[in-house]
Amino acid sequence: MVTIVGTPWQMVVAYVVIIASSLSLITYWVTKKFILRKMNRTIMTAEHNYQQQIASLQMQLSGKVSVLEGMVNKLRLSNQELTRLNEIRAKFMSIVAHDLRQPLSSIQGFASVLKMDTPQGGKTNDDQIALNNILKATDNMNMLMTDLMDISMMESGRFKMDVQPFNFNALVSDVVTLQAVNAQKKEINLQLYEYPTEITITADRFRMSQVLNNLIGNAIKFAPQGGRIEVNFYDDNKDVYCQVSDNGPGILHTEKEKIFQKFHQSDNDRNLKKQGWGLGLSIAQEIVHAHGGDISVESAGLGQGALFWFRVPKEFVPTSTPTKSAKTKAKSAV
C-alpha cells in the first residue's frame, strides 16, 4: 500500500494524480478492449465490401470490354468495306470518264462537220441551232469528264504535276481574257487589276490555270445579269496571292466549310446545279494544297457577294496541309 507523507495540500495533489492516472489506465483499457476492436471490425467489413465492389466492377468492365472489342471489330470491317467501295467508286469514275470521252469526241466531231457543211441562212437556221446546242452539250460533257478524271487521279494517287517557272501575270491575263467571253454573255463587268511588278513562280502552269478558271467561272455562273467580278493578285517575297470577288448571292456561314467538298453544290440557285457536279472547287483545293498553299472563301452572308482567294509559294513546296499563319495572313489582307 502506498503511504503519502507531506502537507495536506501535497497529499491532495498526490491523490489527484493517482486517481487521474488510474482513470487514464481504465480509459485506455476500455478503448483498446471495446472501441478499437469495433473500429477494426468496421474497417474489415468496409474492406470486404470494397473488395466485393471492385470484383463486381471488374466483371462489369470485362463485359464492356468484350462489347467494345465487338464494336471495334465491326468498325474495322466497316472501314474495310468502305475502303473497298471507295476503290470501286474511283475505278468506276475513271472508267466512265475514259470510256465516255471517245463517243463524246465523235459526236463533237460529226456535229462540227455537219455545221460546216450546212449552208447558212434560209431554212437551215433550225439545223444550225440544233448543231450549236449539240456542240455546247458535248463541250459541257467533256468538261465534266475532265473533272471526273482529275478527281479519280487525285484519289488514286496518280495526280502528277509538271512544275516549271512561268510568268504568273501572263497566266492571269490569259485566263481572264478567255473567261471574258462567258462574262459578256451575261453582260458582266469582268475587271482585272494588273500587278505592276512581274511575278515569276515555279508551279504547274496548267493546274494553276484550272484553279483560276474554276474560281472565275464560278463567279460568272453565280453573278447576276450585269454584275461585276474583280480579279487581283499580288506577291510578297515568298508567296503569291490571288483573289476573285463578285456581287453574287453570297454564301451562308454554315456553308463555307462545305463548299470545297466533293460534289457539294450551293442551294442558292437550284437551277445552277444542273450546270455541274460540284467538283470544280474541290479540284482547285487539291491543286492548291498540292503546291503547298491554301485556299478559302469569305462572304458577309446572303446577298453580299463572295471573295475566293488562294495562296501558293513562289517556289514549289509539295505538301497537303495549309499553314495556319498563311491562312491568317491572307484573311487579314482580304
Residue ranges, the chain, pLDDT below 50: 1-2, 4, 121-123, 270-274, 320-334
Handedness of CA 272, 273, 274, 279 (dihedral sign): positive
**Cα(72)–Cα(66) distance, rounded to whole angstroms?**
10
**Each residue of 19-34: pLDDT tens digit?**
877 777 777 776 766 7
| 165-333 topology per CATH | Heat Shock Protein 90 (3.30.565)
Bridge pairing between strands 189-193 and 228-235: parallel
CB atoms inside a 10 Å sphere around CB 62: 10
**Each residue of 192-238: pLDDT tens digit?**
998 889 999 999 998 999 999 999 998 998 888 999 999 999 998 89
Largest pairwise CA distance in the chain: 154
Give the torsion through C-alpha atoms of 301, 302, 305, 306, to 10 deg.
50
State residue 326's pLDDT score. Answer: 41
Element (DSSP H or E) covering residue 310? strand 306-313
Going through 147-248 in order, the beta strands assigned E by DSSP cover 164-167, 189-193, 200-203, 228-235, 239-246
